[in-house]
Amino acid sequence: MRRLPFFASSVLVALTGCSEGITAPKCERCDEMRVLTDRPEYRPGSTIAFTISNRTTAVLRYDWCSVGLASRGNGDDFPPATYSPARRCGIGANLEDVLERLVLIQPGESLRDSVTISGAANQSLYRVTIWLLDETGVPQPGNPVVSNTFDVYPGAAR
């Protein structure tokens, strides 16, 4: 009987430690820019709201046009991401479009953004992808910056 209280308290500590269900993002530049979704799960057709935080002492620039969602599909890993400003700015988006919508994040500042996932999205793990650019609009090394992973499935909480 002495082991039961210890076991129950261990389970309680473990559950409260991950109550949010949101894991830390993992990418080459995630220490510089943090992208976290509001929730650990969404339904297809949902708006995925997220916070972008600049954790450096320098101004960071991200391409609003190329913000997207990556799905792990049925595999164990996410496929390599490809840069495409057409995701939000339409087919034929060019450097002028990218520079016009370039978002500056000051040191220590946080911003909010969102993307909508298709109503026909497959049940899978997803993450938000964001591309950091230099002042001329060229993608920087170490891209993309990714969010925490989150589940998309029909029975997710609203």
Res 155 pLDDT > 60: yes
Res 51 pLDDT > 50: yes
In a domain, 9, yes or no: no
Res 113 pLDDT > 80: yes
Res 18 pLDDT > 80: no
Distance in angstroms (rounded) separating the CA atoms of residues 85 and 77: 24
Q: For the chain, how many structural domains are there in total?
A: 1
pLDDT of residue 146: 96
Sign for the CA dihedral angle at 67, 46, 106, 149 comes to negative
**Which range of residues forms the domain containing residue 56?**
23-152
pLDDT of residue 76: 86
In a domain, 50, yes or no: yes
Sign for the CA dihedral angle at 153, 155, 156, 158 comes to positive
pLDDT of residue 67: 96
In a domain, 15, yes or no: no
CATH code: domain of residue 87: 2.60.40.1930
In a domain, 67, yes or no: yes
Q: What percent of the chain has pLDDT over 70?
A: 87
Q: What angle do CA 68, 37, 100 make, to 5 degrees?
A: 45
In a domain, 5, yes or no: no
Res 15 pLDDT > 50: no
Distance in angstroms (rounded) separating the CA atoms of residues 58 and 77: 31
Please, which pLDDT band fits residue 49 given cuts at 50, 70 and 90? Answer: very high
Please, which pLDDT band fits residue 20 given cuts at 50, 70 and 90? Answer: low
In a domain, 110, yes or no: yes
In a domain, 1, yes or no: no
Question: What is the pairing mode between strands 41-42 and 150-152?
Answer: parallel
pLDDT of residue 116: 95
In a domain, 143, yes or no: yes
Res 118 pLDDT > 50: yes
Contact in structure between 129 and 78 (CB atoms under 8 Å): no
pLDDT of residue 22: 82
Q: What percent of the chain has pLDDT over 90?
A: 79
